[in-house]
Chains A and B, each alone.
Chain A
């Protein structure tokens, strides 16, 4: 089995299409590092001066000054029971910071934006890698040649699946860790504090993204072993993703957003993913909300069951089919 796995790993890394997908993952990470670094670059003196001028101008608006005066007269009615007259200006007049042209680097913000985007890109690329790895075996006819050497099909399937999972996991680890190490280095270079809670959040995000990339690669592989064609599998996945989202919104019962693939993927990657479930309609006075929260456990269970079904079908199909 180790020999077979080693052969499959060799085949995986030697495929040109897969090398291109890995390269695309690395380039995406580099592009995201560059974009994040640029979008959060330190403010210049001119940026600060512009912001201060705009804040001053805003503070002179008559309607705003009138509002501040009203607030000072009755702060408790305006800002709540604990408010005092001194709180009114701070609460109503925009600060200089709110006119800064960009936010400074903050790991928690990067995690929900660029970090999430990069993870999704890597996951999609690993799905394609899993599909093309075995799709090429079928289209070239080399699957039959391999089976003449090793007729135990379950072993062949497992060796290929393990190679896909390990390789996809390795690519995801390298690309995502590389991105976050670069982010860490950037924060350090800019003397930005990295609270341990943020670092821990990033670490768990990377762990979950790597696990999802491995599962995505395995899922793509398993489905292509059924359909024997890369493009057919990718087309099916596309139809399932897009059509599934539409179908979920059309389902005639409340809470069907729970079954959306997109919500579950984001629910797995992001902490306490909040999503709008259009199928939940709240009547006035009713204690409910269309905004729902997806936990990691819920998302992981949903995605795990999907993967399990694809894997079981793939193994059974491959064991019995004529080649």
Chain B
């Protein structure tokens, strides 16, 4: 039994474009244990796609070590690639071929039986459109076909780079359920995303990156502070409610017509305090931290700093993350 499915040490990637050096990944140490869904979270331009491309041998690392299933990549990638399925960036297929033909050719190139093609087309909900040209597919259908291609080899490791991009709400839900199911069935899924809610809903563990470096890693609940409660409260009398809640020991701030309450374990504590004072709650909603706020908290920067930073570095060639 291997300890880690994905392992990188000091991984670095520098792109050179028009005489400029762009550091996309800067000494990244990543560890993904076997089984479950592991989030790879970071804002756009944080080095997620570059890291995934290096793991898959599409991009050469400038420095550092990588291992998949304990084998050194890219040198030993051919020995392990049959166990890996991946969707990287905007997936590319031959526009003039049907979805089925695109998958059939990929399957044939790695000696996967043709029956698997129909099975994955069914799995990703494209069986009815399998004969249509890829060029006629919507963005969501293209994304689903890419996921189908990644599943062709029945992989032990599935690497998904922003897999819900372009999908409609129903499609997003379907893909997330599928990812969860794959994680529960023993497949290790690395889910790259910049959407915090997606990671929170689907992942067991997460690595958070920014500026090409690992900022934090661990269980999702612990890292994203799901137990740290902030609740939005709507009442008729915000001023009175604020007074009573503060008297009860909560930290309360007023934001226009509602209150934001901190320092409670369960929201019912708030309703109980207010009801006893004759104030009835009209709105009660947990406030989840956004990736932006969480990221800023991790880096200790202000919103203005972050905005200035993200506007300066150009996206490295071929890197969407």
Contacts and interface: CB of A to CB of B under 8 A. Distances in A.
Contacts of B59: 322-323
Contacts of A136: 94
Contact of A322 (B58, B95, B149, B153): B58
Interface stretch (B105-113, B222-230, B278-286): B105-113
Interface residues on B, range: 35 or more
6 contacts: A145-B149, A148-B88, A149-B109, A152-B78, A323-B53, A323-B58
A6 B108 contact: yes
A145 to B, nearest CB: 5
Given A15-B96, A142-B93, A144-B92, A7 B105 contact: yes
Contacts of A200: none
Contacts of B60: 320, 322
B81 A11 contact: no
Nearest to A155: B78
A143 B90 CA distance: 12
Contact of B109 (A3, A14, A323): A3
Interface in A123-160: 136-137, 140-152
Interface of A: 3-4, 6-7, 10-11, 14-16, 136-137, 140-152, 320, 322-323
B186 interface: no
Interface in B95-128: 95-97, 101-102, 105-106, 108-111
B274 interface: no
Given A141-B91, A149-B109, 7 more contacts: A7-B109, A10-B108, A141-B93, A143-B92, A144-B88, A149-B110, A149-B153
A3 B111 contact: yes
Contacts of B56: 147-148, 151
Interface of B: 15, 53, 56-60, 74, 77-78, 81, 84, 86, 88-97, 101-102, 105-106, 108-111, 146, 149, 153, 317-318
A140 B105 contact: no
A126 B105 CA distance: 24
B318 A322 contact: yes
A121 to B, nearest CB: 25
B105 A11 contact: yes
Main secondary structure of the interface of A (DSSP, over half): helix
B30 to A, nearest CB: 19
B58 A14 contact: no
Given A146-B106, A148-B88, A150-B109, A11 B94 contact: yes
A152 B82 CA distance: 12
Nearest to A138: B92
A145 B86 CA distance: 9
Contacts of A4: 109
> Which of A7, A16, A151 is packed against the most chain B CB atoms within 10 Å?
A151
A167 B271 CA distance: 76
B106 A16 contact: no
Contacts of A151: 56-57, 74, 77-78, 81
A7 B111 CA distance: 11
